[in-house]
Amino acid sequence: MWQIVSESVKSANHPLNQDARKYFISKDKEQVIIAVADGHGSKKCFRSDIGSKFAVDVLLKIFSKHLLRKTFDNLQSGFSGMSQDLAKAIHQQWLEKVTTHLERNPFTPEEELVDPKVLKNQKISYGTTLLGALITPNYIIYLQLGDGDILVVSDNAVMRPIPKDENLIANETYSLCDSEAFAFFKFHYQPIIGQLPDLIMLSTDGYSNSFPDENEFQKTALDYNNLYKKEGLDLIRKNITEWLTETTVNGSGDDLTTILVFKAIDNEPTTKREASITD
């Protein structure tokens, strides 16, 4: 069974928080879908707060469908072929949402003047990354397009199921608004053999960019895991807004969003037994 905490804080430098997050947890608390998206926020991507919301909505919808159909429960032919279809479906559905939104909300005269390239290819204005995971008792699927971080804690050690992309420096990122975006998705399919992870942590790059190096950043996941085990979920829920605010103010200065999925410990009450979707 899983327990979830999620929070997002806005950068003092941005007029809007362009990050988005969403999660689903099943009634029995054994199946979880999490998604985090980071709208680019550049001058050209002036609707990226909307694009990031579309991204998390699409991922929740698609993973929910596969969960219901048990698509990934007994993979005979491996995951890699399916991952390409998954990436294409996510990209396609995001584009459809953007197209519909543009039809209903055409560019304003001010938006039309922002950049000729964006006027020609208006989906650029919705540009966003996407991170996610589908967690079940039998397997976990991790997914990533663009920057951001997925950390997993098991036996008090931290690992990255999807390695950092060394090509993404200087705030460059892959984006759903790229016409070839589906080609840049990265996946990791992890069958559960033995123990489930203790913690799965998704975060936008504003979190990792607040630390001088990978080690200092990875301590966040270890500390959250230890806090959960020693103090329980309430303490994390009570303090996380303050912690994230302190982090962005003294670190990257970027919007900062995280979702923490803890493997429930025996003495931790798992609250109400209802399925829920939370933005």
Q: Which residues bind other proteins (CB under 8 A)?
A: 13, 38, 40-43, 45, 124, 127, 129, 146-147, 164, 166-175, 177-178, 205, 208-213, 215-217, 219-220, 223-224, 227, 231, 235, 239, 242-243, 246-247, 250-254
> Rounded to the nearest whole angstrom, what is the least distance from the CB of residue 275 to other proteins in the complex?
28
Which residue, 110, 66, 71, is CA-closest to 90?
Answer: 66
Q: What is the 3-state secondary structure (H, E, C) of 185-246?
A: CEEEEEECCCCCCCEEEEECHHHHCCCCCHHHHHHHHHHHHHHHHHHCHHHHHHHHHHHHHH
Report how far apart, in Å, the C-alpha atoms of 8 and of each of 19, 66, 181, 229 are: 7, 27, 25, 23
C-beta closer to other proteins: residue 26 or 248? 248
DSSP SS3 for 35: strand
The secondary structure of residue 62, as a DSSP letter, is H
> Rounded to the nearest whole angstrom, what is the least distance from the CB of residue 181 to other proteins in the complex?
10
C-beta closer to other proteins: residue 215 or 267? 215
C-beta closer to other proteins: residue 82 or 253? 253
C-beta closer to other proteins: residue 61 or 237? 237
> Rounded to the nearest whole angstrom, what is the least distance from the CB of residue 252 to other proteins in the complex?
6
> Rounded to the nearest whole angstrom, what is the least distance from the CB of residue 223 to other proteins in the complex?
3
> Rounded to the nearest whole angstrom, what is the least distance from the CB of residue 45 to other proteins in the complex?
7
C-beta closer to other proteins: residue 174 or 185? 174
C-beta closer to other proteins: residue 136 or 209? 209
Residue with tokens 């048990």: 70
- CB under 8 Å to 225, separation ≥6 — which residues? 153, 156, 198, 199, 262
> Rounded to the nearest whole angstrom, what is the least distance from the CB of residue 71 to other proteins in the complex?
30
Residue with tokens 């931290």: 158
120/73 Cα distance (integer angstroms): 43
